[in-house]
């Protein structure tokens, strides 16, 4: 456990435009409660301060790993962040916590960091933040065709091999994600050689999530977390920070978080208690398409 302080305005500005920050502060303090986008993103009078604290929490985890005070970390924060773009808050996200911490790591001496996002939804905000920043590689594996509507594999043709989208078919589950980890995460990390990996982990890709249609089980989440931890150990001295994003069944968030801790500490094991009851589609041709587009 680490002591956390709220992110400063300067730290938030590593990703977000100052005008967005001041507008959100005014809306939360003077006009809340209310809805600020169609997701709908609901804010209260404390939301601005909550969002500063969430971003500060991820920065604290990241610096602890960077400084060697922690081997790795898991930032369990709310509100989440991966939909928040540099100039707009959206999708239940106020500030893009993971993008801010990644930029902070760059400001503290790193040259190359990677963000891997396996929330069920496309990490449009993180993609927007790093669209033209060659120091950051971004990968999002998500269900194609749901909110926010972006995340097709050709979204960023100028950044092949650096901005990678894996638009998955509905009901893709443990088998498809394992293929994605082995056939896309692995060559991506090997090619980019990040010095630190950040993971946007959302538990809404679980088969029982009420707002998406994917097929991961808790066991699948554990396998995925173990695979990214192993990649970090092999390529960046184990430096990895998991950051909580979505998840709309609290039980899945609890079980999935336990899986992250098991993978990060190497202690404990989870039981296969919630196998996916749905049949998985074959995602091999989609995975091949992504590999070919990026030359992996």
Query: Where does this chain bind Zn ion (CB under 5 A)?
Result: 119-121, 202, 204, 246
Backbone region of residue 149 per phi and psi (left: phi > 0; alpha: psi in -120 to 50; beta: other values):
left
CA 89/CA 223 separation, integer angstroms:
32
- Candidates 215, 137, 135; CA nearest to 177 is 215
The residue among 82 and 227 lying less far from Zn ion, judged by its C-beta, is: 82
Q: How is residue 36 written in tokens? A: 């600020």
The residue among 92 and 130 lying less far from Zn ion, judged by its C-beta, is: 92
Q: HSE on the CB side for 293, CA within 13 Å?
A: 22
Beta bridge partners of 161: none
The residue among 81 and 202 lying less far from Zn ion, judged by its C-beta, is: 202
Residue 257 neighbours by CB under 8 Å, 6+ apart: 74, 76, 203, 244
- Candidates 115, 94, 93; CA nearest to 104 is 115
Q: How is residue 218 written in tokens? A: 């808790």
Taking the C-alpha atoms of 21, 122, 92 and 127 in order, what is their torsion angle to the nearest 10 degrees? -10
Q: Which of 16, 83, 122, 294 does the annotation list as catalytic?
A: 83
DSSP annotation of 93: B
Backbone region of residue 145 per phi and psi (left: phi > 0; alpha: psi in -120 to 50; beta: other values):
left
Q: How is residue 66 written in tokens? A: 């960077």
The residue among 117 and 274 lying less far from Zn ion, judged by its C-beta, is: 117
Minimum Å distance from CB 58 to Zn ion? 17
Minimum Å distance from CB 124 to Zn ion? 11
Phi, psi of 254 (to 5 degrees): -65, -50
Minimum Å distance from CB 130 to Zn ion? 19
Minimum Å distance from CB 205 to Zn ion? 8
Which residue's beta carbon is nearest to the bound Zn ion?
Answer: 246
- Candidates 240, 151, 128, 262; CA nearest to 189 is 240
Minimum Å distance from CB 252 to Zn ion? 12
Minimum Å distance from CB 80 to Zn ion? 8
Q: Is residue 83 annotated as part of the catalytic site, yes or no? A: yes
The residue among 195 and 276 lying less far from Zn ion, judged by its C-beta, is: 276
The residue among 65 and 244 lying less far from Zn ion, judged by its C-beta, is: 244
Catalytic residues: 83
């Amino acid at each position: 456990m680490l002591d956390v302080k709220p992110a400063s305005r300067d730290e938030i500005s590593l990703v977000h435009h100052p005008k967005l920050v001041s507008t959100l502060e005014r809306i939360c303090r003077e006009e809340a409660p209310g809805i600020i986008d169609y997701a709908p993103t609901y804010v209260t009078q404390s939301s601005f301060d909550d969002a500063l604290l969430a971003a500060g929490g991820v920065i604290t985890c990241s610096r602890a790993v960077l400084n060697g005070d922690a081997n790795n970390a898991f930032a369990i924060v709310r509100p989440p962040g991966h939909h928040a773009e540099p100039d707009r808050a959206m999708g239940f996200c106020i500030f893009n916590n993971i993008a801010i911490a990644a930029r902070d790591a760059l400001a503290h001496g790193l040259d190359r960091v990677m963000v891997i996002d396996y929330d069920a939804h496309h990490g449009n905000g993180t993609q927007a933040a790093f669209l033209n920043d060659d120091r950051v590689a971004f990968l999002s594996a998500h269900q194609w065709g749901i909110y926010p509507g972006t995340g097709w594999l050709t979204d960023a043709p100028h950044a092949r091999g650096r901005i990678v989208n894996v638009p998955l078919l509905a009901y893709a589950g443990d088998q498809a994600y394992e293929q994605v980890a082995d056939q896309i995460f692995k060559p991506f990390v090997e090619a980019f050689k990040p010095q630190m990996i950040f993971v946007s982990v959302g538990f809404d890709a679980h088969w029982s999530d009420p707002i998406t249609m994917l097929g991961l089980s808790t066991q699948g989440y554990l396998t995925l977390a173990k695979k990214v931890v192993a990649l970090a150990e092999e390529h960046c001295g184990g430096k990895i920070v998991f950051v909580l994003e979505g998840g709309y069944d609290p039980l899945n968030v609890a079980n999935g978080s336990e899986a992250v801790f098991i993978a990060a500490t190497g202690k404990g094991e989870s039981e296969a208690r919630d196998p996916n009851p749905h049949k998985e589609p074959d995602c091999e041709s989609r995975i091949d398409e992504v590999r070919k587009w990026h030359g992996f």
